Amino acid sequence: MDIYTRLAPHYDRLFPVSDAQAAFVGERLAALGARRVLDAGCGSGRHLELLALRGYDVVGLEPDAAMAGLAAARLGARGQVLTAGLEDAVGALAPLAPFDAALCLGNTLAHLVTPGALAAALAALAALLTRDGLLVTQTVNFDRVLTAHRADFPERRLADGLAFTRDYTFTHAPARLGFRLALTGPGVALEDTIPLVPLTRDEQSAALRAAGFRRIEAHGDWDGAAWSAEAPATILLARR
């Protein structure tokens, strides 16, 4: 069973949407005048719910069936959630396109580890957007991780005694990290290591341009600070 399937019941507490994150996304969508929004890699659907409550027409795409089920239950009749990966995005979403904006947050792009998967995913997202549509992507700042050869993930302790830890292992495989997640506590013992591609800012920007995106803007956190090598995140805004 996939680690995200097992983490699904706890996901909202482990990865909450911050006020700053919600505000950053909301401000960009409002400035665009977007109405129809895709969340590619929507997880448990918290972003979808927040956007639906603001009146957006939302669609979620999520490869993990347990996560997709949570997102669909959360949305109800306010939106749609499809169980599919980014590699299947065009086929799954073509009847629902086009979208004014798409979100691809939470290290979703770094999970695309098979050769050509990143290029295919970004090409699919470009095909699903309106002309001049907006794509917002977010990953950990892997430039900093690769330079420091470590990640600074503090342990997160939940009210029911569960402890959540994350770290990266540096493998000998080219362009790969091992992402170890562990959730332990009363009645719970989950642990797994999955591969990630540590995409640098330049690699992500180049892939976006190759997929036909332009006007790429980089930020380092959800407060809107300019990207730097020491920033915690790589947040890119690109126009179709």
Domain-wise residue ranges, the chain: 3-142+198-239, 144-194
pLDDT tops 70 at residue 172: no
3-state secondary structure of 133: strand
CA 64 from chain center: how many Å? 13
The pLDDT value given to residue 212 = 98
**Banded model confidence at residue 151, pLDDT cuts 50, 70, 90:** confident
Predicted TM-score (pTM) of the model is 0.95
For residues 9-21, b (16+ Cβ closer than 10 Å) or e, as one string?
Answer: ebbeeebebeeeb
pLDDT of res. 170: 86
Cα–Cα dist 112/228, whole Å: 24
Q: What is the pLDDT of residue 140?
A: 97
Spelled out in words, what is the top-level CATH class assigned to the domain 3-142+198-239? Answer: alpha beta
Q: CB neighbours of 159 closer than 8 A, spacing ≥ 6? A: none
pLDDT band of residue 173 (cuts 50, 70, 90) is low
Average pLDDT, the chain: 95
In Å, the largest CA–CA distance within the chain is 51
pLDDT at 1 over 60: no
Percent of the chain with pLDDT over 90: 88
Report the pLDDT averaged over residues 144-170: 91
- For 107-149, write each residue's pLDDT tens digit: 999 999 998 999 999 999 999 999 999 999 999 999 999 998 8
Tokens of 145: 């991780």
User: For 180-201, how does the pLDDT look when each residue is reduced to its tens digit (9 = 90+)?
Assistant: 999 999 999 999 999 999 999 9
CA distance 166 to 118: 24
User: Taking the CA atoms of the chain, what radius of gyration do you get in angstroms?
Assistant: 17
Query: What is the C-alpha separation between 191 and 18, in angstroms, rounded?
Result: 25
Render pLDDT for 220-234 as a digit per residue (tens, 0 to 9): 999 999 999 999 999
More confident: 211 or 159? 211
CB atoms within 10 A of CB 152: 9
Q: In this structure, which amino acid lies at residue 201?
A: R
The residue count for the chain: 240
For residue 130, count CB atoms less than 10 angstroms from its CB and return exposed for 0-12, middle for 13-18, buried for 19 or more.
middle
**158-184: average pLDDT:** 89
Predicted local confidence at residue 150, as pLDDT: 84
Which has the minimum average pLDDT: 2-6, 85-89, 114-118? 85-89
